[in-house]
Amino acid sequence: MEHLNQYQPPDLRLFDRLPEGFTGIAIEKLGSILPGPSLIRIEGEKGAPIFVSILLHGNETTGFSAMQQLLEGFGAPRRLLPRPMLLFVGNVAAAVRGVRKLDGQADYNRIWQGERYPEHLLARHVLAEIARAAPVAGIDLHNNTGKNPHYGCVNRLEHKSLSLARRFSKTIVWFTEPHEVLAVALSAICPAVTLECGVSGDATGTEHVENYLRHCLELPEEILFAPPANHHNDLFHTTARILLSEGTRPGFGQCDDSADICFREDLETLNFERVPEGTELGRFSKELPPIRVIDNMNETVTDRYLLFSENRILTRVPVVPSMFTRDVKIIRQDCLGYIMESYQLPEAPPPPDDPPPPEKPDPPEDHDEPELPEPIEKPPIEALPLVRRSF
């Protein structure tokens, strides 16, 4: 198989102990104790480990800061954690430089299926180690750049993964694309969740994640996976992505002539809001709009969601966007944002052999989350395939 970049696959460093200095080191110096992508076993008192992944994207630092505080609080590595942990520290080289990924590298959260890039070999090695450790749950920590609530993402609608997501936020996103993300691969091994922890560096996000991880280490398995008492969740399904044509120069608000496409100034505030049909998202200057929408099968579905009228870009149907961002680099490397639809989960009875013991719910969150919209449509859950893709 031809590899698309010229780099050697980065070696995976295996540690049987948390390296000294991890909890206090500045991220710019992380390379001095972790020479590259690292899988670290941290001892715990009992039980199967919990797997946690941080810094797949080098500039998403909340998971790193929360992990430092958490491990410092537990006195690791001198003292045992309540439960063992398998910690993956992903793109160290990018983290040291404060970027999502280095030029020429594959995106570390798009390498967990396939074999196109050298980094796929790294991913396969990591997955083999995770499978061997048989973790009780897998958690991948991320930030986003736009204005979004904290939310958990699942890739399978099964109760353990949903419980992990519910413990973090009342807002849950179910997605199957992009399927090359770590959490999709993880979900074939153990209950898995991706946590989107708001904007990188925000102290509220760090504290939220630290508390969440502490619960995951301290709670017995049967409580960890018991549905929390707050059943008022908002579940969204990601159905499409919005992409800009290659080489497009986007702008926001008052754009000058150099912008090919000019989005509304407050685009990011539309995230997780119900956006009615006919809403103007922006304008374009060329003859053809340099924007398209693709669905989960990579089919172009622009006309299903967008309408172009006199160089204006309008929504054709009501949509709930997420991860709309003004970060041009992210738009180029990933996408402008996602389109979601709202779903309602039925009250699932607990499985007969795994009854949830009585438990106090996690304290209600107090984030500045927008009031979520009325669902656009609520097809019965039985009509949904539980897994859209076989892993």
Tokens 């970049």 found at: 5
In the region spanning residues 231 to 260, those forming contacts with Zn ion, defined by CB under 5 A, are none
The count of chain residues that interact with Zn ion, using the rule CB under 5 A, is: 3
* Pick 50 or 94: Cβ nearer Zn ion: 94
Asked if the bond preceding 178 is cis, omega within 30° of 0, the reply is: yes
In the region spanning residues 132 to 151, those forming contacts with Zn ion, defined by CB under 5 A, are 142
* Pick 91 or 176: Cβ nearer Zn ion: 91
Tokens at 95, concatenated: 């983290």
Tokens at 364, concatenated: 């209600």
**Closest CB 292 distance from Zn ion, rounded Å:** 23
* Pick 165 or 262: Cβ nearer Zn ion: 165
In the region spanning residues 269 to 308, those forming contacts with Zn ion, defined by CB under 5 A, are none
- Tell me the residue nearest to Zn ion as measured from the CB: 142
Query: Which range, of 23-31, 58-66, 207-215, 273-281, touches Zn ion by CB under 5 A?
Result: 58-66
Q: Where are the beta strands (DSSP E) in the chain?
A: 13-15, 38-42, 50-54, 85-89, 137-142, 151-154, 171-174, 192-196, 234-244, 250-252, 261-263, 280-284, 291-295, 306-309, 312-315, 320-322, 337-343
* Helix%, strand%, coil% for the chain, nearest 5: 25, 20, 55
* Pick 149 or 227: Cβ nearer Zn ion: 149
57 binds Zn ion (CB under 5 A): yes
**Closest CB 370 distance from Zn ion, rounded Å:** 21
Query: Which range, of 53-61, 76-84, 170-178, 222-230, touches Zn ion by CB under 5 A?
Result: 53-61
Which of 313, 178, 190 has its CA nearest to residue 244? 313
**Closest CB 67 distance from Zn ion, rounded Å:** 15
Tokens 């110096």 found at: 29
Query: Which range, of 59-67, 110-118, 133-141, 315-323, touches Zn ion by CB under 5 A?
Result: 59-67
Q: Rounded to an integer, what distance in angstroms lies between the CA atom of residue 196 and that of residue 194?
A: 7
**Which residues would be at the binding site for Zn ion (CB under 5 A)?**
57, 60, 142
